[in-house]
Amino acid sequence: MNNADLIVETLKQAGIDHGFGIPSGNVLPLMEAMRAGGLDFVLTAHEGSAAFAADATGRLTGRPGLCIATLGPGATNLATGVGCAFLDRSPLIAITCNLNTDQLGRRMQMAIDHHALFQPITKASLALRDGSIAATLQEAIRTALSEPRGPVHLDLPEDVALAPAREDPPAPTEDLPGVAAPHPAQVDEAVRFMGEAKRPIAVVGTSAMRMRDPGMLVDFIERNNIPFASTTMAKGLVDENHPLSIGCIERACRQVQRKFIAGADLVIGLGYDSVESEYEAWVGDVPVLHIDIAPADTDGTVKIVGEVVGDLDAGLGGLNARPAISTDWTAEEIAAHREAFHKALRPAADGFAPHQAIDVVRELLPADGILAFDVGAHTHQIASQWTATAPRTFLITNGWSSMGFGLPAAIAAKLARPEMPVVCLVGDGCFQMTCGELAVAKRLGLAIPFVVLDDSWLSLIRIKQERRQYGIYGTELDTGGPVGPPAHYFGVPAEGVATPDELEKALAAALAADGPRVIEARVDPAHYMETVFD
């Protein structure tokens, strides 16, 4: 066994069964160890996609996702996806395979300081060195899985990878350091503020996605009769068909949501991480009761009246053990708001509107199917419009918000949950960035429909140009116009659609297919002006 073998064995013991990346000569020792040790290497088209896929894997499995790159440009490409895992709190191990140890620090071809590169966007950047491989790996895995979860970078010189192992694989990481329970006085104070409120609203945030028992959220909401919203990444943690659901905040038609929240007398942030949207952007003058693993991060203008800081399960458990409060909310006014919100999201349109395409995908994808999507104007529309019914079925980056996430996330989802239907829904700008990953789906035989909302613009940026009264410049995409898509991309069949009925037919066939399909939906983006920032 050499050190590369030791690394593979340790990663397998941590529950990691595949990694994403692109090889080079320096990567080959680790790849050979993966081949011999039964840890699958998934070749991607770009290192950034490898890290995005590893991020999605970490979210779906609860184990660290794995991504691998060579030194220099491989590492810098990988960094985009690693940053995603950092701000979106996903457990991930990123390995860069480097020069030999005696060449580190010299001015060499492709060489840069990997630790300086990854230090700002990881929880830790660690050097793998002969004699301390096992301890370093154990530290990396524990760090990635400890709250708040996130990525850890490991740098592996080639001579270290090839050196004979002088250690045994470490024991699997089980005794992770936990988050301390909130102080009972904080729970007492929270109960008092809740009891004084008559029209509280709860907002479920991304930290709650990592609760051990998310059912506590449902108990809290139902027993206290509190209407709830969610952030983009927390959608589905509580079924949005619930009669107390009011939908997503700070995406399309955000002013409708802000107006409703302004009528509350208390906002309760449940696992609310301000990396998605800072409180001061939307809470107005309504006082806030903040319940999270970390204190509220504000600019000082937000009225934080109380905080319950610590383990979320313990905090919610303490609150649920207290007598329920009495609120003035009625089922009728919550339902009326929800109906008005969804009506505003679907304005009348002369052509094939994006909101019509999104509704078709939602109708055909089973309730517990997984949607992976990307960043742009369509992100705002999907986040507000889509009804998510189950946890971890709604994959997007909101903290990092990088274009290019959707395709590799869909591939990762299908590998992690092969029994689940997965649909990828992206804009044409995002598709141009990462369409090479279709070759990965083809090679692996992954039955994923890739639906492209083709409007020939970087629509989100065009809207911002118009709002600022700038010229429309540098945002038009040459997508071929009405000619439609080619017959295939990298061997993946493609077809164009121009109506909801055509999309419904094509998507039904794609969901029944035994491999990937591309459907380019030629949509009119006009309604984005009404919904995205209003």
Task: List, edge to edge, every strand of the sheet that includes 65-70.
Answer: 40-43, 18-21, 65-70, 92-98, 151-157, 124-127
Cis peptide bond prior to 148, omega within 30° of 0: yes
Residue-wise pLDDT tens digits, 218-276: 999 999 999 999 999 999 999 999 999 999 999 999 999 999 999 999 999 999 999 99
Average pLDDT over residues 94-101: 92
Please tell me the predicted confidence (pLDDT) of residue 480. 57
Helix and strand element counts for the chain (H, E): 20, 19
> Where does the pLDDT of residue 500 fall: very low under 50, low under 70, confident under 90, or very high at 90 and above?
very high
Distance CA 279, CA 528 (A): 24
User: What gap in Å lies between CA 296 and CA 289, rounded to an integer?
Assistant: 9
Query: Identical fold at 3-162 and 184-339?
Result: yes
Fill in the amino acid letter for 135: A
Kindly report, residue by residue over 353-405, the tens digit of the pLDDT: 999 999 999 999 999 999 999 999 999 999 999 999 999 999 999 999 999 99
Q: Say what the alpha-carbon torsion angle 74, 402, 49, 485 is, to the nearest 10 degrees.
A: -120
Q: Is the pLDDT of residue 481 over 60?
A: no
The pLDDT value given to residue 482 = 57
| Superfamily of the domain at 184-339 | TPP-binding domain (3.40.50.1220)
Residue 274 structure tokens: 């301000």
Q: Give CATH for domain 3-162.
A: 3.40.50.970
Under 8 Å between Cβ of 50 and 67: yes
Torsion of CA 347, 348, 352, 358, to 10 degrees: 30
Contacts of 240 (CB under 8 A, 6+ apart): 230, 247, 387, 388, 389
Residue 411 confidence (pLDDT)? 98
pLDDT tens for each residue of 168-188: 988 887 778 889 999 999 999
Grouping H, G, I as helix, E, B as strand and the rest as coil, residue 387 is: coil
Taking the domains of the chain in order of start, what are their residue ranges?
A: 3-162, 184-339, 345-531
pLDDT tens digits, one per residue of 426-480: 999 999 999 999 999 999 999 999 999 998 877 888 888 888 889 988 888 876 5
Residue 483 is predicted with a pLDDT of: 58
In CATH, 345-531 is 3.40.50.2300: no
pLDDT of residue 286: 98
Average pLDDT score, the chain: 94
DSSP string, 59-83: HHHSS-EEEEEESTHHHHHHHHHHH
The answer to pTM > 0.85 is: yes
Q: End-to-end CA distance of the chain: give it in Å, rounded.
A: 60
58 vs 484: which has the higher pLDDT: 58
